[in-house]
Amino acid sequence: MVTARRVAEILEGYEDIVIATACSHSSLQIFHGAKAEGFKTLGIAIGERPRVYDAFPAARPDSFLVVDSYQDLARNASELTEVNAVTIPHGSFVEYMGADAFLDLEVPTFGNRRVIEWEADREKQRTWLAAAGVEMPAKIERPEDIDRPVFVKYHGAKGGRGSFIAKNYDEFLEHVDKGQPYAIQEYVIGTRYYIHYFYSPIGEEGYNLSKGTLELLGFDRRDESNIDEMYKLGAQESLKRLGIYPTFIVTGNVPTVLRESLLPTTLQMGEKVVEKSLELFGGMIGPFCLETIVTDQLRFKVFEVSSRIVAGTNLYISGSPYSDLLEPGMSTGRRIAREIRDARKVGRLLDVLT
């Protein structure tokens, strides 16, 4: 992994920082927010300059770096440092580059790269969340012990691909691909909320943690194909007889707000996960998301943490009902740029970049 000393050396040569990210996922919001905070922007594209930004001029990056592949980008980090780039990781950026190449990319990057080690491995993620004291769906160690409906996920599966529901051991055997490592969780029945937080290690006033401040910027819910709409065709059980099975592929996001009495718990959960991250690996810096299901007992079960900007924040480019109470018009993308700007002003860039 790139060392803090190397990042400091690179930053010494920087004048005006340019905010760079891969042209996908939440890039419109990241570029739009960076511009609003007075930064120049650079889009990293594969193969050719994407046309999509022509349709959205307020989010069009000032320049592009077009490379043949993400692997090519790892080899040519100097093209980014020459223009004083700071990269903003998002789910697709890290996924396409590969975690190892991303860890070694010799370009200052927003957030703590060490979080990847704790996030990518479902077992380590569970250790972190459990140690933080947030409730998670129960884990079923052995398939033979399945005694209730379960949700089966393959390691590293993104966007719900490959996951399936089994109501008993026989159904598990029917669907499982034993060639891939998998995890079995109890199937939690409730309503899903994806919580968008921002942790600032340099924040001083607000919802204070042992170090820095925590912000709650919004909530979304995901549209998942085909599970969301399959009921129109009939009950899942009868559809199975036709060879039609539910899938959980994320296709979009919908805005939502949370019952207000649940907000204190929401903040406490974010706080606990950040505090534990400070202890385990020096902190999860910037935006993160807890993916939760709220039961009819009003208990949150956290089934995943995403330790960077999530695409659900794209709903709130001009602010959310919550971020508006911090500062009107504050998107998560803009909040990232603001953090870099503030850290530079007080000489603490190394507290937010790695």
37-45, 155-163, 196-204, 276-284 -> range binding ligand AMP (CB under 6 A): 155-163
- Site size with ligand AMP, rule: CB under 6 A: 16
User: Is residue 307 a contact residue for ligand AMP (CB under 6 A)?
Assistant: no
User: Is residue 157 a contact residue for ligand AMP (CB under 6 A)?
Assistant: yes
Q: Are strands 85-87 and 213-226 parallel, antiparallel or unpaired?
A: unpaired
User: Is residue 288 a contact residue for ligand AMP (CB under 6 A)?
Assistant: no
User: Is residue 196 a contact residue for ligand AMP (CB under 6 A)?
Assistant: no
User: Binding string to ligand AMP for residues 235 to 264, with x set by CB under 6 A, is what?
Assistant: -------------x----------------
User: Is residue 192 a contact residue for ligand AMP (CB under 6 A)?
Assistant: yes
3-state secondary structure labels for all residues of the chain: CCCHHHHHHHHHCCCCCEEEEECCCCHHHHHHHHHHCCCEEEEEEECCCCCHHHHCHHHCCCEEEEECCHHHHHHCCHHHHCCCEEECCEHHHHHHHCHHHHHHCCCCEECCCCHHHHHHCHHHHHHHHHHHCCCCCCECCCHHHCCCCEEEEECCCCCCCCCEEECCHHHHHHHCCCCCCEEEEECCCCEEEEEEEEEECCCCCCEECCCCEEEEEEEEEEEEEECCCHHHHCCHHHHHCCCCCCCEEEEEEEECCCCHHHHHHHHHHHHHHHHHHHHHHCCCCEEEEEEEEECCCCCEEEEEEECCECHHHHHHCCCCCCHHHCCCCCCHHHHHHHHHHHHHHCCCHHHCEC
Q: Are 247 and 160 in contact (CB under 8 A)?
A: yes
User: Is residue 304 a contact residue for ligand AMP (CB under 6 A)?
Assistant: yes
User: Is residue 187 a contact residue for ligand AMP (CB under 6 A)?
Assistant: yes
Nearer to ligand AMP, 44 or 150 (CB): 150
Nearer to ligand AMP, 67 or 293 (CB): 293
What's the min distance (Å) between Cβ of 304 and ligand AMP? 5
Rg (CA), the chain: 21
User: Is residue 312 a contact residue for ligand AMP (CB under 6 A)?
Assistant: no
81-89, 180-188, 209-217, 339-347 -> range binding ligand AMP (CB under 6 A): 180-188
Among 185, 314, 320, 332, binds ligand AMP (CB under 6 A): 185
Among 35, 90, 222, 308, binds ligand AMP (CB under 6 A): 222
Among 160, 212, 286, 312, binds ligand AMP (CB under 6 A): 160
User: Is residue 299 a contact residue for ligand AMP (CB under 6 A)?
Assistant: no
User: Binding string to ligand AMP for residues 18 to 57, with x set by CB under 6 A, is what?
Assistant: ----------------------------------------
List residues near ligand AMP by CB under 6 A. Answer: 137, 151, 153, 157, 160, 163, 185, 187-188, 192, 222, 224, 248, 293, 303-304
